[in-house]
Structure formats: structure tokens, C-alpha cells
Chains A and B, each alone.
Chain A
């Protein structure tokens, strides 16, 4: 663990912790308006000041972290599940089914995810979808825009693993498709997509903020960083803190997740993990051999 890039991970870890414990960290209700305290500077009662409706900026930043974290986790989980299921199925089944599914994946990948999400939110803006909150519309739209990468990766891993001799051996031994997939292939798929997902988290936080910045994401009064940014833009000349504070929070989290992704890409972190695993495996094997030698000596 000492090889982990802790410094660059700190903002991401703080983000996750703040998101998890937000209700205990907020000093005010982030939605309550106080017209007597509009645009107040930082003080003991309002640590980061107040916004144009007198709402506590500190509590809104904390609340915004929770909003982004929850949305990010939902989208990543859903996109990962959809992507892994479709991609793995395509790779495992092969043939025409694979061709059709790969074509769908290619079409989804041909367009930028944010554009797809914007288009889907446009579709969900119709009156027939008014029963659903903007927050869930955004999560669904982002999920449907985000799954294709995971599907493509999953399919590639499945196709590669299917060529391995141990899969053929398992088949010869009469293992079922489900057993082969869950026991031999899925761990490899998850190993890759989970790593990719952790690196993708920053892009997703940014996408959530972008949609809110455009007024198409999280609906008021829920605090959200992108929304805070766009609301603060009108006051940027006289009260730049309204933009700087959410901007810094967003930048720190996105940069942190991106560096984490880079670390994974450069295999800094996996190396450390793999080294630990190898050491543990070696230790276990050595213990087993010692035990076997002892047993043989007794015999």
C-alpha cells in the first residue's frame, strides 16, 4: 500500500468521505434561503459565506459532493452492469449476435457520451416523463451514454480468454457455460472494467456538473457544483468566491480521479497490488510446501 499515489488520491478520498458523511458535516440546510444574509462574506456562522439567496455555501459544497457522488456511483454501477452483460454476451456467444451487438456498441461509441446524454435528456424532457425527477433523468441518460465503453472492453476480454487452453480444458471436463463464464472469464472482465471505471469517475463527475451547468441536470434546490458554478457566473465580478469555491472542488476531484486513472494506466497501482498478492501467494505456497515436507518427513 505504500506505493499507492496517496497525494493525488487525497481529493478523491475526501470527496468520497464527504459524500458519505455529508448530513453530519453540513452546518446549515443547504436549501434554506435567508434574504437577510445574501452574499455574506465568510464568517463563523457561514464558513464560506452565502450565495445570492442567502444559502450557506459550505453546506452547499458538502451537499454538492453527496449529489455528485451518489449520481456517479449509480451511473458507474449501472453502466458497468449493462456494459459487462452486453459485451460479455456478445463475446461469448459470437456469430451474428455478436455482430449485431458490436454494431450497436460501435454506434454508441461513435458519438460523444455527453452529446448522447444531452439528446436523451431532451427526450426525457417531454411531459410524459414529468413523473420522473430531473436527477433520475440525468442518471438514466448518463448510464445509457456511458455503457458502451465497458461493453467493448468486456467483449474484448471475453474473446481473448476464450482462446486460452484452460477454457478448452474446462469444456472437455464438462463444465457448463455459466460455470466457465462466472468462474473463469468474469473475474478477468471485472478486473479490467473496475479499474477503468475508477479512472472514469472523474469524467463522470465532470459530465454531471456540465449537465447541471447547462441547466439540464440536477433540479433546484438540490445543491450541485455545476449548478453553483453557473449561478455564480452572474456575480463573478464582485463575488468571485461563488464561482471559485465550487470550481476548485470540481477541479480537485476531477484531477484526482484522472491522475488515479493515469496511475492505473501506467500500472503503478496494479504493480503494487500485484506485488502484494504475489508475496502473499508465495508465502502461502511456502507454508504449504513446509507443511507437506513435514508430513513427508513424518511418513
Chain B
């Protein structure tokens, strides 16, 4: 009896030991996999089509130059580069020994094939280096020179953007040049793609620092609350990022309370209140001045962003290069705003202002669909302006209507946001402040003939002339109250505490995985 009991005990112990190991064996995959939430499906990652989510490209495809923290240019597929003194050519030393994930060699031929897919192509003329493209010279098997018809001051920065500048395997395109598969040189390889998730596996042949885990799942979770609950439940490891799976300040605070790790850093994009240059009401500088002084930026940052934003009067934050000297954020001053209106010929008080019999009534165009949370900011600003005596009708519209009305300047006030790194400052300046720029449905923040000259001069200025030229743009915008910068929202991410070494990537267009180890 005693022997039987001992045998049973040993058998049970052995069984329990096996069973306790079994879940670990089953979960081994989970322990070696990072689960990242994305708000929308990745798409097929076609580098020439504007359909896939930008963040997903960055883990599969490399660029010649990478955008590092603080806007520092870091070697990517190019180990070194030289810009000619006249700015008309840029030579690149290509990284040797790099292969695409299908085994194709990355060399001057592959680089030339890739660059010619978008350089000098009309669809990509919004990229300065494409519009000024001259030719590509293969100097050596691993060295190329791109010649330009005119200098492009932001050429190197433009080579760090996501689409279409990254490199595709020449074998991953059909005879017409259409991309057939997402094959890049990046740290991750697309194993499978579906509408609900994309599975990536580590590229063990990656030239750079390899991820510490073998798999990464990009799970599509469109609803923010569902993402937060997924993180709490352990179904997700990482949520956040404006271009990945936005996390609101309120939700971040709640997650922090629940023990999740919340990481927030100064952002690179500015939320701006745009005055329509075509609106008779907004052509009156007194009205623009009154709004500029009358908006309480500190309250917006504290109340609606819960401290996850910094009030500003500058077009760009210091986290993007050549952002200019810092302006002092004014305290909201109702009396000064009313005085500005009175000086501009408006008569009235807090109950309302009129000029030549016409009331001061502003049409505030808002779309929560295209800019989540904007209606609440508009509501707050509406209350602040009404205290001054500026009546304000909020037109809450859908995304399509917003994109129809904004390019036509069919509004008095509306929200804009700068693109952020790595697109700024040249991206937002060239697109949002130049009359001739084709920005499609995005519209422009402010345009005028005078401003065109200043902005175009700044975009063309290189070397030491660039900073003062950029400053001239900022000074012009400030002196003419051409825009009303509000806040720079912080970049907010929340991660499962089991993750170690989490750090924000350099831009909001990158997915975080570098330095992360899974617990």
C-alpha cells in the first residue's frame, strides 16, 4: 500500500511537472511575439499607392537615410552621402552585403531601379527631389550619384520619409513595375496579411540590430476603448501613436491608473487654428488678432489634453529641425481681444460686435471624423470666443465634406495639424503655405502672394542661409497673424509592463520594436 502511494505520488509529481511545463511550451510562441495594435489594416504595402497605413512600411522597408531622434540623419541603406557644393548632385555609398528578404542583392542597380520608380515622376512632384530630378549615375557597384536640375535644400530629409522613397526588391514587381509583394530589406518580413491582422517574422538576414523577439503581430483594433481593454487583458502589448493606434490623453490616464506603463514624449506636430484667407471676416487682421489673443491655449492643453500637450504659438515645435526661435505663449486676455476688435473698427462688447451693420459671426468648420477630438476643442474655443463677443457657429461635418470645403476655403476657422517629423518643416511649409502647391483635399493653412515669396525662398535656401530664411517665414506668419498655433500634443503610447526597454521611435510614423525585450 505504501509502495503504491509512493509510486502514485511520483507519477503525480512527474505529471504535474509536465503539465506545468506544457503551458510554457504552448505559450513559448506568445513569449517570443510582440502584439501591437493598429487602428486600420496595413494594406498590401504598395510603395507607390497611397492606400496602406504608413507605419507598417517602416518595419519592412528601409530608406537610404533614416530619421533619428531629434532629426539627426542616420545611415540606412546608404552608409555615407555627400552633397555637392552647388547642391546639384548627391552621392551615396551604398551599404554592402545587404539583401532583400527574397535573397536579391541590394546594389547600385537595385537602388537605381527603385529611385527611378518615383524620381521625376509627375505623381511624386510633391517631393522636391523628385520634381528636381536629373539623372542617376552608377559610379560603382555600391555607389550612386543622383543629379538634380536645381538644389533642393531638404533633399536628404525627403529621403527619410515613408512612401515612396523606400526600397523594394526588383523581383517583387511585375513587368509593368507594379509591386507584387512587400519585399524589403527591413528588420521584419511579412508572413501573412489579412484584414484583421498582419503577421511579421524577424528578418534574420537584417543588416542592422535585429529584434530580440522572433515575431510581431499587428492586430487591427479600430476602437480605442477596445485597444485599452486589450492591453489590460494582455491581448495586446503596445498601443498608441498618432499614426498607428491613437491613444487619447484621457485613456492614457486611465491606463496609468490601472498599472500599465504609459510613455509620453514631446510631439512633433502642431495643432493649428487656420483662418481662411478667402473669408472676408478673416481677412480682417483685427479679427485674427482677437482670436489669437482670446484663445486659452493653456486651458486647452490642461483640460482637453490633460497635460499631454504643450501650449504654443510657433508653427513647429523644437522637435523638428529649423523650427525657429520660440515665441512666448500669451495669457488669454479678453480685454485685449476686445480692444483689438475696437481698434479694427468693430463696435460692441461681450454681447457681440458689429461692423457696418454686419455681426461678427464666424463659421467654425469641424470634423471629428477627420480630426478626432476636434469638436470638443472647437466647443471650448467657441465658449472662449463668445466671452469676447465673437459669435461662433460650429459646422460639424463628415470627412468627405471637410475635404471638399477645406481646399476651397469654405470656412472662417478650421483645424489643421502639421505633418510632424520627418516631413517637417519643409513638408508642411511647402504644402500648407504655398498657393501653387497641390495638397488635394487637405487644404492649406494660409496663402498669400507675399507669403509665397518668403516660403519659396526658405524652401530653396540651403546651408547657412536656411535657418534665417526659415525664421523669415515664421516671422511673417507671426507678424500677419496668418495662423493661430494652439498646442503640440505629446506622443502617447501605453505598453504592457512585461515589456522591457520600450522607447519611442524617432517619428510617429515608425512602429516601436527596437530595444524591446519581452518578459
Contacts and interface: CB of A to CB of B under 8 A. Distances in A.
Given A52-B304, A215-B396, A126 B380 contact: no
A221 B375 CA distance: 10
B378 interface: yes
A126 B376 contact: no
A231 interface: yes
Contacts of B397: 125, 216
Contacts of A220: 375, 378-379, 382, 394, 396
Contacts of A32: 383
Interface string B373-391: 1011011101110000000
A280 B368 CA distance: 58
A33 B368 contact: no
B400 interface: yes
B376 A216 contact: no
Contacts of B382: 220-221
Given A125-B398, A134-B395, A219-B394, A35 B369 contact: no
A121 to B, nearest CB: 8
A298 B329 CA distance: 101
A127 interface: yes
A235 B250 contact: yes
A52 B378 contact: no
B376 A52 contact: yes
B396 A134 contact: yes
Contacts of A234: 248, 250-251, 373
A31 B401 CA distance: 27
Contacts of B248: 234
Interface in A129-160: 130, 133-134
Contacts of B303: 35, 38, 52-53
Interface in B141-185: none
A296 interface: no
Which of B225, B304, B383, B408 has the most chain A CB atoms closer than 10 A to its own CB? B383
A235 B250 CA distance: 7
B73 to A, nearest CB: 38
Nearest to A235: B250
B383 A31 contact: yes
Interface in A233-249: 233-238
A140 to B, nearest CB: 15
Given A35-B299, A38-B303, A122-B400, A127 B379 contact: no
B393 interface: yes
Contacts of B369: 215
Interface residues of B, number: 38
Contact of A238 (B254, B395, B408): B254
Nearest to B302: A35
Contact of A127 (B251, B375, B394, B410): B410
Nearest to A34: B383
A224 B408 CA distance: 31
A130 B375 contact: no
Interface in B395-416: 395-398, 400-401, 404-405, 408, 410-411
A237 B396 CA distance: 26
A237 B254 contact: yes
Contact of A126 (B225, B251, B257, B401): B401
Interface string A27-55: 00001110100100000000000001100
**Prevailing SS type, chain A contact patch:** loop
B383 A127 contact: no
Contacts of B254: 237-238
Interface in B33-89: none
A236 B397 CA distance: 24
Contacts of A237: 225, 228, 251, 254
Nearest to A53: B380
Given A35-B299, A52-B376, A215-B368, A122 B383 contact: no
Interface in A188-243: 215-216, 219-221, 231, 233-238
B363 interface: yes
Contacts of A235: 250
Interface string B359-378: 00001000111000101101
A227 to B, nearest CB: 9
A53 B376 CA distance: 9
Interface string B103-129: 000000000000000000000000000
Nearest to B401: A125
29 contacts: A31-B383, A32-B383, A33-B380, A33-B383, A35-B302, A52-B303, A53-B379, A53-B383, A122-B398, A122-B401, A125-B398, A126-B401, A126-B404, A126-B405, A126-B410, A127-B408, A127-B410, A130-B395, A133-B393, A134-B395, A215-B367, A215-B369, A215-B375, A216-B396, A220-B379, A221-B382, A235-B250, A237-B225, A238-B257
Given A122-B398, A125-B395, A237-B251, 17 more contacts: A31-B383, A33-B383, A35-B299, A35-B303, A52-B303, A52-B304, A53-B376, A53-B379, A125-B397, A125-B401, A127-B408, A134-B395, A215-B396, A220-B379, A231-B376, A238-B250, A238-B254
Interface of B: 225, 228, 248, 250-251, 253-254, 257, 299, 302-304, 363, 367-369, 373, 375-376, 378-380, 382-384, 393-398, 400-401, 404-405, 408, 410-411
